[in-house]
Structure 1
Amino acid sequence: MAIVRTMTKADIEAVYDLECRSFSVPWSLDSLKKEIENKLAYYVVVEEDGAVAGYGGLWGVLGEGEVINIAVAIDYRGKGYGQLIMESLLDYSKEQGFERITLEVRYSNEVAKKLYIKNGFHQIAVRKNYYQKPTEDAIIMAYEVSK
């Protein structure tokens, strides 16, 4: 059975491994270690049988949230863990009183776009050539948080 919980320092190595397997330009281990101390950030992991199956996080600044990353390990995909992560981030945003949440997603990432749309996000803009390896546009999406 999977649980969603706040990410801790003990999770950093597993999250870094997941980061490297999920993104063509992953965050560094040092960046993740610093990020866990970031007072503006909120990170969760999905844990199954003691293993980190996925993680996600957002930053909150001036009443708005920005989803930073969501990743689910290949072996755990298709189990709804991305949805569990998204629900946790949305619940946190409501608790914090955020008015809006934004995120960027690769133009070609259909799975992520479907997750975001399912959760009430909509496209508001495009950032040309935002992503590297390969170079690709980012779709900027937003969610208006209901009180």
Structure 2
Amino acid sequence: MAELVIRKMELDDIEQVMIVEKASFATPWNAAIFNQEITDNRHAHYFIIEVDKSIVGYAGIWIVMDDAQITNIAVLPSYRGMKLGEKLFQYTLQFAVKMGVTRLSLEVRESNVVAKKMYSKFGLVPGGIRKNYYTDNQEDALVMWVNL
């Protein structure tokens, strides 16, 4: 049985996180953004999920007062379909609740049926559209919300 660990992201994790990032997004963040998020953004909290000590996914959340915004969540393509994204999202939600968050939101590509289905499992509902949100192809983003 594989050893599964979810923990806070550290600076030493960024190199492996970049592999996940580049495999997951058409316009990936660079390592400097993750470095800044971890070291300089007091509202940012990032978590990684490891399988047998290898980082296979990560999630980020900004918490301001009692509101939270998921910045990103990704799992390596070869590890998708194993419910790791759900475990990571649930962990992040539980962290938000412990921090006093009462409302959480995120943006998701309208075409990302798998992600929208997962978020719905956690009670998130559509709240609006951000037109031309994604810079790679001008796809709209669906804004989803949940009161915690």
Shift in Å at residue 132 of structure 1?
2.0
1:42 correspondence with 2:29 = no
2:61 alignment counterpart: 58
RMSD: 0.9
Task: List alignment gaps of at least 5 residues for structure 2.
Answer: none
Counterpart residue number, 2:86: 83
Q: Residues 57-136 of structure 1 correspond to what in structure 2 (within 5 A)?
A: 57-136=60-139
More strand by share: 1
Q: Which amino acid aligns with 1:2?
A: L
**Number of corresponding residues:** 145
**Percent identical residues:** 39
Structure 1: stretches of 5+ with no match in the other structure: none
Give secondary structure in 2 for the equivalent of 1:3. Answer: strand
**Distance between the aligned counterparts of 2:100 and 2:109, measured in 1?**
28
What whole-Å deviation, never above 9, does each CA across 1:25-44 have from its counterpart, x for those lacking one?
Answer: 11111111111112211111
- The TM-score normalised by the length of structure 1 is 0.95
1:30 has 2:10 as partner:
no
Deviations 1:8-33 (A, max 9, x none): 11110111121111111111111111
Kindly report structure 1 stretches of 4+ aligned residues shifted beyond 4 Å. none
TM-score of the two chains, using structure 2 as the length reference = 0.95
